[in-house]
A = this chain, B = another copy of it.
């Protein structure tokens, strides 16, 4: 039979899954806004970020309440503390989607991304979307096999990030410094978002196995 405490833990997990869903949706729309110079979608991503912030805030308070009420020890305490950290990662990922949308908005009605980088940004968008979807499923299922796969997906993000710099540094680059700055920051936002998602998956790995996934600081 389930007790109230385990219902509380399930509800925490559900909120983390919900947050990851919102973050994935935000990143997907931020990529669309960026590639299609869609001001309306950019504004939506920016204003929806407060929903993710509010969920983060509420979840933190809820977890503190559970800790105070239930006085968990050992594994249960670790789950709650780790959930606070996952919530912080997800909140930050929402900020990074917001940052990408803000670049789209700043350059509107122009497109921030020059033609030779459209494919790279599309791929970064696809990879981060995949990583966030897998992270969400890892939070839900606690499937550590998927958690480990994320390291490979993150290698792909790193490869795309390097490819972006190669394009910026090519002699044929004709879009000037401003666009290079935009693309440098955007590349960093995608890469950091993927890092945070991988960090969430590693935290699940740690909860399930009691060991750190390789590469974990």
Chain A positions near chain B (C-beta within 8 angstroms) = 53, 57, 60, 64, 67-68, 71, 73-74, 77-78, 81, 84-85, 88, 91, 165, 168-169, 173, 177-178, 180-181, 184-185, 188, 217
User: Is the pair B78, A81 in contact by a Cβ cutoff of 8 Å?
Assistant: no
- Closest-by-CB residue of B relative to A73 is B68
Q: List, in ascending order, chain B residues with CB within 8 A of A78's CB.
A: 64
Query: Across the interface, which residues of B come within 8 angstroms of A181, CB to CB?
Result: 165, 168-169, 180-181, 184
**Do A77 and B85 form a contact, CB below 8 Å, given A169-B178, A177-B180, A181-B180?**
no
List of B residues within 8 angstroms of A168 by Cβ: 177, 181
Contacts of A85 in B (CB 8 A): 84, 88
Tell whether, in the assembled complex, residue A177 and residue B185 are in contact, meaning their CB atoms are under 8 Å apart.
no
Once bound together, how far apart are the Cα atoms of A10 and B188, in whole Å? 38
A50 and chain B: residue at smallest CB distance: B217
* A100 vs chain B, min Cβ distance (A): 14
A188 CB contact (under 8 Å) in B53, B88, B177, B188: B188
A-B contact pairs, 26 of them (CB 8 A): A53-B217, A57-B217, A60-B81, A64-B77, A64-B78, A67-B67, A67-B81, A68-B74, A68-B77, A81-B81, A81-B84, A84-B85, A85-B88, A88-B88, A168-B177, A168-B181, A169-B178, A169-B181, A173-B177, A177-B177, A177-B180, A180-B180, A180-B181, A184-B184, A185-B188, A188-B188
Which of A165, A173, A177, A180 counts the most chain B CB atoms within 10 A?
A: A177
